[in-house]
A and B are shown apart, each in its own frame.
Chain A
């Protein structure tokens, strides 16, 4: 056995061999690693400690650098940890801290080993155990080893004391009751003269205060002393962080520290410290004008620095100042805007955030315009950052800062046509949302929707599908304000819609359905009184139709404003289809005449739903939707089927109309009216809490466990959550838009696209609506909104500077041309208002325990190991030891902190005796005693130690009295 271990030892590869082997290996890294791991598995079982520890060392290396699993070796780790040789023990401890975690089974086995090493005379061993404990401590380990750590907190060996202090943080986290034992000593370390100890302890308090600052207010005097006295930048930075947390809680504290902080800011040559001072002032001392001015001055130095790090930090810290000191940002606006074209995307994003923070109602439009131009020229990532921040800024609190919705809706449309736009989902949501909330914006919305729908180039862009979906929905829902429903219909029926994913196609079909109903309805209303639907007397009928005043529709639409001159003129020839060219020309002339007369022409007034156009529309729908009956998607198929059925029904009626006009006509109108009524009910935004207000119907079991269902239909893909919520029966299609895969569709679409398109054009000739686009004959659509190369980015920058300069005045636009339209808002939170929410102070056990210790409250978790008597005496002892920093008295402390405490040293002793006498008389008395004690409070270590020994003598019972091997408490 001995022989074999020597042989193992001799022929074992060391870590260095392993690393060298790895560099020279020819068999491939993974093979090499698995071979080496096999070797280690063999070696680690050796009885020879050296072989075992070397094997473990190699395993650690492989695990850390190459990600090899080492959890299987945990028992060997424990063995190596217990080695008597330091070098081997070190390997064991390192392996433990690297691989152990809360669920490692062998953790229970190492408690004693850790205890032994923590109490070792060799401080390197203690340090190993501490290091390990800081990484793997569980509640159990923390509880069992608290006494050892307590001892180490006041050891004379600074080398281990500073580490013990750092470990206490984890101890408190895992075992809050340890606070009662250790907190006092931790606080004592604040007064240490050793900078290493102070570095460690202030680091711990910085972390503790970040979680629950209020509990540490009583310690402010100690922190203040460090702030004033310390010369070490590491310590100063940490103590500034502590004050940044404490100052907002206690106004008088801010007054106290503002001067020393400014002093550091002026004096220090270390950028890190200056920056920390700036950050502290801007976050926590923003009420002190002179300090803020100084801080902003420093920021200005940083923001123009050569070093990108400083520029980034300066911008970052400026964003902190925005809510209270917008002027600070405005003063630096040129640098901010310059950063918008910085090389570093992180800096660009920071400056964008700042810029959006500067935006006010009056200059939203101008700044958005410039930013949009930036977006056109930026790389895709930053472009989308810009778009995203415009969208969130404008959409905040239900479009709070948007005054002009016509402008905003057009802006959304413009964003959609930016080539790199990937914000489809957000734009979609806002388009639909505005449609539902802002009645006055609907006309513009439909117009924007039309422009998007009509452009065949957009259909090929996957990212835009969601926007098109919203546009289609808007077009269908608010068709009554459309300038030309036929044109919308053409857009919805164009052949490239085959590129859309089925769910969005379904929305298209539904929108087309609504438009068709609208057209038919209008047609029928126009023809009221003229019983004939005969196509033979079309000419006569037409002139008749022109004169028909459609009372209801006109009244309904009279409210809608907007001049559609150019648009209408441009589309004149397309109103009716080709075969009726002559008619439409005639038609157009008359319409132009109408334009001249009326200032606000609406579609129904000026255009007429002629029999021909309706018949043509029906034919077209039949032709296009015919093939869709065979579509694989259920949604598309069903909707197409509905549409076709309706068309066939109406056509059937029409055919028969020659014979039996009256009867049939009424039947058709009845159907159309019914449909129309179904669609006219307006949709509104839905409150997030709406679902809760619906009473659960009887017999509906909601709490049934549906776990079994998963086994049956586990492979069925659930539809993703809806992107916008709307009420109404015909909206389901929009909600599952994301569940389909647009890529597949596009692929298949691309194959037959060209042939079908050409064929389609042949058949329908002028299918594509805008006459100005007729020159596009190739299948290659130019990308929408080509970035203009001639505009100069510097011009943009200067323009932006000018704009923000105007917004500096921060005055509202006085010459507003029209009032802000009504935006529907639900009172009970349809959207959660975006506001900065302060985190609730955590009522967890840690802060509870700290409060107990610092403030002497009697309600806290009990020590698990002590009996009731122990507990109470222990608690009281802690209170006394701390000098009872009652929160209210702290303020006085802050003020007095600098004054040397000139009270008679004897008084503390007297006081103490006083309180001790009263200790068991009841709570009120104790509090009173504490107040006495407070007056005698002094910061000399001498007095502390005196009192400490005194305390110990008087309270022989303590927490760990059940573990007799720790005598330290009694000393």
Chain B
């Protein structure tokens, strides 16, 4: 499994989205998120975007007030994951228009929907913005 989890955390350390591709209990998730957020948020922009934590490698990127953290296996290509994060943000930006933290908060299920299109079982399966957004837009139209 390449990607193990995707987290979006604001700069106050509050989780805005958490998507895990392996089962962890609620306590484990909370502990993991706490540790990672403490580690990553303390770093400034002059430092590299990769942090090793437990058996994960965390690749993170900050966009305005929101941190995107992706936990991957050790063998994963870090730069590709950074591109993946950027793609996710661009996709959201195209859908919401100037995406901000509030968009993600209030349309969490849509963001989940996009993520589900992009990643299945930890593997990246879709990298085209149009393809990712098709089902989301369809859902919007029908409801």
Verify B80–A64 contact, CB threshold 8 A: no
Verify A169–B139 contact, CB threshold 8 A: no
Q: Which of A26-78 contact B (CB under 8 A)?
A: 57, 61, 63-65, 67, 69
Verify A94–B125 contact, CB threshold 8 A: no
Interface assignment of A127: CB less than 8 Å from any CB of chain B:
yes
- Give every chain A residue within 8 A of B135 (Cβ-Cβ): 124, 127
Q: What separation, in Å, do the CA atoms of A200 and B16 have in the docked complex? A: 28
Interface assignment of B66: CB less than 8 Å from any CB of chain A:
no
Verify B105–A19 contact, CB threshold 8 A: yes
- Give every chain B residue within 8 A of A347 (Cβ-Cβ): 47-48
Interface assignment of A134: CB less than 8 Å from any CB of chain B:
yes
Q: Would you call the interface of chain A mostly helix, strand, loop, or mixed? A: helix
Verify A346–B80 contact, CB threshold 8 A: no
* Interface size in chain A (residues, C-beta < 8 A): 57
When A86-B142, A124-B135 are in contact, do A272 and B123 touch as well, CB less than 8 Å?
Answer: no
Verify B48–A309 contact, CB threshold 8 A: yes
Interface assignment of B26: CB less than 8 Å from any CB of chain A:
yes
When A102-B23, A131-B120 are in contact, do A67 and B29 touch as well, CB less than 8 Å?
Answer: yes
A63, A163, A308: which contacts B46 (Cβ < 8 A)? A308
Verify A200–B123 contact, CB threshold 8 A: yes
Interface assignment of B77: CB less than 8 Å from any CB of chain A:
yes
When A203-B125, A207-B123 are in contact, do A346 and B83 touch as well, CB less than 8 Å?
Answer: no
Verify A101–B23 contact, CB threshold 8 A: yes
Interface assignment of A709: CB less than 8 Å from any CB of chain B:
no
Verify B121–A169 contact, CB threshold 8 A: yes
Q: What separation, in Å, do the CA atoms of A154 and B105 have in the docked complex? A: 38
Interface assignment of B90: CB less than 8 Å from any CB of chain A:
no
Interface assignment of B137: CB less than 8 Å from any CB of chain A:
no
- Give every chain A residue within 8 A of B80 (Cβ-Cβ): 233-234, 237, 272, 276
Interface assignment of B55: CB less than 8 Å from any CB of chain A:
no
Interface assignment of A16: CB less than 8 Å from any CB of chain B:
yes
A19, A196, A343: which contacts B131 (Cβ < 8 A)? A196
Interface assignment of A311: CB less than 8 Å from any CB of chain B:
yes
Interface assignment of B93: CB less than 8 Å from any CB of chain A:
no
Of listed B51, B120, B121, B126, residue having the most chain A CB within 10 A: B121
- Give every chain A residue within 8 A of B123 (Cβ-Cβ): 166, 169, 200, 203-204, 207
Using an 8 Å CB-CB cutoff, how does the interface string of A90-108 with B read, 1 for contact, 0 for none?
1100100000011000000
B1, B78, B112, B116: which contacts A313 (Cβ < 8 A)? B78
When A94-B112, A210-B75 are in contact, do A166 and B120 touch as well, CB less than 8 Å?
Answer: yes
B1, B23, B30, B75: which contacts A67 (Cβ < 8 A)? B30
A64, A276, A309, A343: which contacts B49 (Cβ < 8 A)? A309
Verify A207–B77 contact, CB threshold 8 A: no
- Give every chain B residue within 8 A of A69 (Cβ-Cβ): 26
- Give every chain B residue within 8 A of A94 (Cβ-Cβ): 109, 112
Determine the residue in chain B with the shortest Cβ distance to A309. B48
Give the interface residue-count category, chain B.
35 or more
Using an 8 Å CB-CB cutoff, how does the interface string of B106-139 with A read, 1 for contact, 0 for none?
1011001100100011111111100100010011
Q: Which of B3-50 contact A (CB under 8 A)?
A: 14-18, 21, 23, 26, 29-30, 43, 46-50
- Give every chain B residue within 8 A of A279 (Cβ-Cβ): 77
Verify B120–A130 contact, CB threshold 8 A: yes
What's the nearest-Cβ distance from chain B to residue A107, in Å?
A: 12
Verify A275–B18 contact, CB threshold 8 A: no
Verify B21–A207 contact, CB threshold 8 A: no
Verify B50–A203 contact, CB threshold 8 A: no
- Give every chain A residue within 8 A of B73 (Cβ-Cβ): 210
- Give every chain B residue within 8 A of A61 (Cβ-Cβ): 108
Q: What separation, in Å, do the CA atoms of A473 and B109 have in the docked complex? A: 64
Verify B121–A134 contact, CB threshold 8 A: yes
Interface assignment of A312: CB less than 8 Å from any CB of chain B:
yes
Interface assignment of B82: CB less than 8 Å from any CB of chain A:
yes
Verify B109–A64 contact, CB threshold 8 A: no
Verify B47–A275 contact, CB threshold 8 A: no
Interface of B with A (CB < 8 Å)?
Answer: 1-2, 14-18, 21, 23, 26, 29-30, 43, 46-52, 73, 75, 77-80, 82-83, 105-106, 108-109, 112-113, 116, 120-128, 131, 135, 138-139, 142-143
28 A-B contacts, Cβ less than 8 Å apart? A64-B17, A64-B18, A64-B108, A65-B15, A65-B17, A67-B30, A87-B139, A90-B113, A131-B120, A134-B121, A163-B120, A166-B120, A169-B1, A199-B125, A199-B127, A206-B2, A207-B2, A210-B75, A234-B124, A237-B77, A272-B80, A309-B78, A311-B48, A343-B46, A343-B47, A344-B47, A347-B47, A347-B48
Q: Across chains A and B, which 3 residue pairs bring their CB atoms closest together, nearest first?
A: A272-B79, A203-B123, A166-B120
Known: A203-B2, A344-B46, A347-B48. 10 other contacts (CB 8 A): A64-B17, A134-B121, A135-B21, A162-B125, A165-B125, A204-B123, A241-B75, A241-B77, A308-B49, A309-B48
